[in-house]
Amino acid sequence: MTTIKGMDAGLRRLEILFAAVVGAVFTFCFLAFSQRGDLAHTIASSFTLLDGHVRDFYVANVPLVVGNDYPMTIYVVFALWNLPVLLLRPDLAAATPDRLALVQAANGVMLWNKALSVLLFFACAVVVHRLVLALRGSRPLALLGAVVFATSLPAFFSPLVFAQYDAAYVLPTLLGTLALVRGRGRTLVVPALWFGLAASFKPFPLILFLPMLLMLEKNLLKVAGYLAISAAPYFLLFKGVLFTAPALAAGEKGTIASFSGYFFDLTVGNSWHVSLFAVALALLCGFCYFRYGRGDADAGPRLISIATLAIGSFVALGHLHPQWIMLLAPFLSITCVLLSDRRRFYALDAGIAAAFSAMTISYFGDDLASGLVRDGLLPLLGLVPRAGFSALSLFRPSLISLFATAFVALVVVRLALVWTGKPVDAKAFRIDRREVLLVGALFLFSTAVYVLPVLAGFTI
């Protein structure tokens, strides 16, 4: 008969194997895939800040990189990260029209900057761990939550495959949520500041903050004050820095003029189904304000459920890019581990990964999806597009509505299970072999359904 000690040793070996496989897959994705054009554009633009162009940043970049589409915050982060590059490769920081081409050709610089997004992604996993620990006080459960998040395709797609920076606003969103969970009964200034920082990258985190704020705070004057605090970073950056610059004030606002109406366009100005989201968010806010109180015994898990429902509704009814779905991933992972029957969630997450992959490849099309390989390091090994064939042709843009509908349907079912599932017994919870095998199988499946179709169109 197998002893307890033998079972523990076997589980430990399985966990080591799981960690090795995840590490190998992550390393492969980090090296093999990239979105060189957008990443190089952001890197080259950040050097303009290091040149001293702050108030005229967007104007100074026009002759260098044509223009900029992102808020100032992301360029500040990359500028700080690229200080060592400025010392080692001063030629890349020179304000010349070929700066962008030089950055694109520098593989080491590209990997260094992709590593920033990956580092922020792992920091998100750490905060997910802290959130589950704060909610249930179980370290094994907290570890499972972090692992489920880190190995989910909607979470690691943005930093490891697409080389995007969504983790930059997901991280302060999670820190703000952690401050809400820990700070019930105290002032909500710190959470408001975290959400304000997150919203200075993209406004989506405010979708989560508003209903959670109304769940905890019933004084409408205080609610208005906390919302003003959360909006302050955005207005200080864009109204206090950019729009007062002489060139911008003269009318040369370029793409930045669209940021003022960006959130409005995404929520109520885009189409009927997005307007429906605005109605759904209003109903959710009313429900949180009148139904829940700060002193509720299980307010912490309810906060996570409300956040999942808010951003899940946006994913289901909004108009957004696939990489933005990373904001939903940590809340799906947390709600999964807070319930006892996780097998249903793992099965649904496998379907979500498959639909996400098909939707993403269809959304971006053959050229950009194949470009993720061309922009990585595999071409250095001789990997080139296969003439006349690509498995990506199976994912035609005309089918994107079908894939998106499947994705949304699975997310809706997932959200419904959050409200009907039985809470996990945190004190008795232990990670066993079945749990490791289920999470490992889900991770390998999630990786395969995206990586294999992309690689199928290439040959060495």
For 71-97, give the DSSP string. -HHHHHHHHHHTHHHHHH-GGGGS-ST
Domain of 146 in residue numbering reads as 15-459
* Residue 2, in any domain of the structure: no
Contact status, residue 62 vs residue 254, Cβ threshold 8 Å: yes
- Rounded Cα gap, residues 146 and 151, in angstroms: 9
195 in any annotated domain: yes
Residue 364 belongs to some domain of the structure: yes
- Let me know if residue 442 belongs to a domain: yes
Structure tokens that stand for 217 in this block: 């705070």
Residue 4 in domain: no
Task: Give me the number of domains the chain comprises.
Answer: 1
Handedness of CA 86, 90, 96, 101 (dihedral sign): negative
In a domain, 444, yes or no: yes
Does 6 map to a domain?
no
**What is the reported pTM?**
0.89
DSSP notation for 270-326:
S-HHHHHHHHHHHHHHHHHHHH--TT-TTHHHHHHHHHHHHHHHHHHHS---GGGGG
> pLDDT truncated to tens, each residue of the chain (460 aa)?
344 444 578 888 999 999 999 999 999 999 988 888 889 999 999 998 888 888 788 888 888 887 787 888 899 999 999 999 988 888 877 777 888 888 888 889 999 999 999 999 999 999 999 999 999 999 999 999 999 999 999 999 999 998 899 999 999 999 999 999 987 657 789 999 999 999 989 888 988 999 999 998 889 999 999 999 998 887 776 654 554 444 444 333 433 333 334 444 444 444 555 567 788 889 999 999 988 765 565 678 888 888 888 888 887 776 667 888 999 999 999 999 998 889 899 999 999 999 888 888 777 766 566 678 878 888 877 776 665 445 555 556 567 777 778 888 888 888 888 878 788 888 889 888 999 999 999 999 999 988 887 777 666 5
Q: Is 138 within the bounds of a domain?
A: yes
